[in-house]
Structure 1
Amino acid sequence: MTAFSLNPEQSAWCAELRTLADERLRPLAEKGEPGRVNRPLVEALGQLGLLDRLFAGEGQGEPGKLSASHAPHASHAPRGTSGALGLCLLRESLAYACTEAETALALQGLGAHPVAAYGSVRQREQWLAPARAGNAVAAFALSEPGAGSDAAALALSAAPDGPSSWRLTGEKCWISNAPEADFYTVFARTTPGAGARGVTAFLVPADRAGLTGTPLDMLSPHPIGALAFDGVTVTGDDVLGEPDRGFRVAMTTLNRFRPSVGAFAVGMAGAALDATLAHTAQRDAFGGKLKDLQAVAHQVAEMATRTEAARLMVHAAAAAYDRGEPDIAQRAAMAKLLATETAQYVVDAAVQLHGARALQRGHLLEHLYREVRAPRIYEGASEVQRTIIAKELYAARSAAPDTREPREEPSV
């Protein structure tokens, strides 16, 4: 298997996931309330073994399979579906059939991955196990009112309060699953003036004294809120990783999930494309079918080409992550950038080709149109991804020896 093709077993697994999402998860999603955590949906993701796949090789449990006792359509996942590539296939498949299920899964992974990767045995036993089971909702609390994509500019203060204790004071904003999560991975400044080197990651239970939250009314239907820290006490037992090394925790988590944000986008683009193929093939227009108009056919061809290009780049970035290649930051940024921008284009084009019906509340494309906008901003906006890509390109150029032969200057 290469990064550019899936074997029949993997393709069958993706189809199985789409069926599972459509038959088992979508009904739960439809019963949920926009802007609120859908706990029955999260619990179903845990019961079906899908949350386990977020932490394959980390923490406890048996990753790599769906729970056959709860999922009649599920079976053992094929080889090559673990790690970052497996996460991408999982997110793309769920997004195609049920964006709410995909988002619930991704947010659980984003919030709990630092615990799986950097947590102590006690932290993993207390919080990772219920998170994997879908019984505890996790959240990743990085963004602030004045520090969104610039994670090194975090202002949430962690003031020393003893030899191994701090008090958190400040705000977090645009935090998915807030304020309803059961625990938060919180990034706070323990060393003022140290930039990225003075940030520490903490595991903060939602019931910790001094922590409050409010929901935000956002375009995206999943829950997003703000958090206020009024002298919240944290100790060395709450640290994830090491003090002043929290920026590494944040970037490791984001680098793992950024390619799969692209997979989420590709899944939405694929759903919009298939809906457009079905609509244009049956819609009567100007004495024929809509697909017979060259302008329409060429638009659909462009949508399909861009979607496939984004899918290939996402798979390549994920495979590079799994191989441990050194340029994952650049690859992940490229994958997220291309996939999210592509999905925006494809969904918008699909709405245009469907006409007014796509603007009706409850239509698939009306739903996707609201869902597709946010991924171009969260986990690093498109402009931030371009900055990362350019920085990595110039760094690689500076590090590489110049082996070019000197050119002979033209005579005058």
Structure 2
Amino acid sequence: MATPFTGEGERRKGSVELRALAARRLRPVADRGAPGKVNRPLLATLGELGLLSRVVPLAGPVRAQDLCLLRESLAYACTAAETALALQGLGAHPVVAHGTRAQRARWLPEVAAGRAVAAFALSEPGAGSDAAALELRAEPTGARGAIRAGGADGAAVSGWRLHGEKRWISNAPQADVYTVFARTGPGTRAAGVTAFLVPADRPGLGGEPLEMLGPHPVGTLTFDGVPVGPGDVVGEVGRGFRLAMATLDLFRPSVGAFAVGMARSALDASVAHAGERRAFGGPLKDLQAVSHLLAEMATRTEAAALLVQAAAAAYDAGEPGVAARSAMAKLFATETAQYVVDSAVQIHGARALAHGHLLEHLYREVRAPRIYEGASEVQRTIIAKELFRAAGAGASP
């Protein structure tokens, strides 16, 4: 397995190496995949190259800085590979961080090798960015004292049956295993939620794909009395929402890194185009409107990259205020990438709208990150709450 990169010089070297690897080994496999379908050969290649084991480690924590380096570098050269890697990491991370020995032994080697597809099932038809509104029910099936609900959910139970629906779940319904968040207790909002590890072959579990703007697989999951037991619980009963938010605190800066990778790709393509394309008697780069736009694109991209790196470093160091920093990184980087890609399309003109053009591809890819894992408006709410919390405690966020 490749070792994480430390220091700016090593980070830049690692990014160049990963970009080259993605262009040489991953993009050809990605191009053979079908939109909206899990590309299992691509996952197998990511596993073979040791990249999945860096986001799904068999031992030790995931380093946010390494995750961000991977996502930014792969996004620059092959967004399909970046997304496939990120979704494996997101789906498996609750097990990496809180899984039982049996859960880890059964699933982590398979996910890290790209042989099993993982998914993170939190969103519902009425609970997207407002994840605490989830309604998937986990109804107890017995009271034989096999597991207690941490004192929060009442009497001991021997198992549950899941009833309800999840929607907008990446890799659904094609994944092999899902981390599913369901309401086991009488509490509302964040209280009484438990995480379960649910294999795809459980009776009562169904689903269908959704046709979305982006090319990666997204779908619904339906739960018609799906049985789960104590051995399927990830972490503690009744503490699942906290587990979900901790996972997002790690992955939100890396969504920003994904956005930075796309922004850098669009910026480099625009600089090259402005130097080659002639209009009004000279190259586009000699037009002040174009050169100033490129300068603004570059400045915003660099600012986004630094904010992402700072958030990731804070996470790895265990510093306070990680929730706010993660939200800031995701918010600023995804909004910046939208601006940069849109500006790049404007600089290229009609050619950028042709199907198969790099910018046509990035234009479709760049929109979703402003919504998933908490929309931009939700990130602003998180940041504001953390500001007021810090002010009440007499500390900076």
Query: TM-score by structure 1 length?
Result: 0.90
Name the residue aligned to 1:155.
135
Q: Which residue of 2 aligns with 1:297?
A: 291
Match of 2:378 in 1: 384
Determine the C-alpha separation between the residues in 2 that align with 1:367 and 1:314. Answer: 23
CA distance in 2, matches of 1:195, 1:295: 50
In structure 2, do the counterparts of structure 1 residues 344 and 210 end up closer, same or farther at CA, with 3 Å as the change threshold?
Answer: same
Name the counterpart of 1:52. 53
Deviations 1:32-55 (A, max 9, x none): 000000000011111100011113
Matches within 5 A, 1:316-355: 316-355=310-349
RMSD of aligned Cα (Å): 1.4
Summarize deviations over 1:255-311 as a string: whole Å, max 9, x none.
010000000000000000000000000001111000000000000000000000000
Asked if residue 214 in structure 1 is aligned to residue 211 in structure 2, the reply is no
Mapping of residues 387-406 of structure 1, within 5 Å: 387-400=381-394
**Which whole-Å CA distance do the structure 2 matches of 1:334 and 1:10 have between them?**
22
Q: d(CA) in 2 for partners of 1:9 and 1:390?
A: 35
Instruction: State the match for 2:161 in structure 1.
Output: 167
1:78 is matched with: none
Structure 1 vs Structure 2: percent identity of aligned residues?
A: 71
1:115 aligns with 2:116: no
Q: Which runs of 5+ in 2 are unaligned?
A: 1-5, 143-156
SS at match of 1:196: coil
Hey, what does 1:140 align to over in structure 2? Answer: 120
**Secondary structure in 1 matching 2:236:** coil
Distance 1:369 1:401, change over 3 A: closer
Tell me the CA shift for residue 401 of structure 1: 7.8
Please identify runs of 4+ aligned residues in structure 1 that moved more than 4 A: none
Q: Any conservation in 2 of the 1:276–1:354 contact (CA below 8 Å)? A: yes
Structure 1 residue ranges without an equivalent (≥5): 64-81, 403-412
Letter of the structure 2 residue corresponding to residue 261 of structure 1: V
The reply on whether 1:248 has 2:276 as its aligned counterpart is: no
Matching residue's letter, 2:293:
Q
* Helix, strand or coil at the partner of 1:197: coil
Q: Name the structure 2 match of 1:86.
A: 66
Aligned to 1:76: none
Corresponding residue of 2:84? 104
The alignment's TM-score, normalised by the length of structure 2, stands at 0.93
For residue 361 of structure 1, report the CA deviation from its aligned partner: 0.2
Following the alignment from structure 2 to structure 1, what is the Cα–Cα distance between the partners of residues 172 and 353?
A: 29
The 2-side partners of 1:55 and 1:93 are apart by 18
In the other structure, the counterpart of 1:406 is none
Aligned counterparts of 2:90 and 2:395: Cα–Cα separation in 1: 38
Letter in 1 for 2:209: P
Superposed CA offset, 1:95-149 (max 9, x none): 0000000000000000000111111111011111100111000000000000011
Partner in structure 1 of residue 279 of structure 2 = 285
Distance 2:31 2:158 in 1: 46
Residue correspondences, number: 377
- Counterparts of 2:175 and 2:44 in 1: how far apart (Å)? 13
Aligned to 1:7: 8
2:255 is the alignment partner of 1:261: yes
8 A Cα contact 1:60 1:129, kept in partner: no
Query: Alpha-carbon deviations, 1:378-411, whole Å to 9, x = none?
Result: 0000000000000000111111189xxxxxxxxx
Q: Which amino acid aligns with 2:372?
A: Y
The answer for the alignment partner of 1:38 in structure 2 is 39
Deviation readout 1:151-193 (Å, 9 max, x if unpaired): 1111000010112200000000000000000000000000133
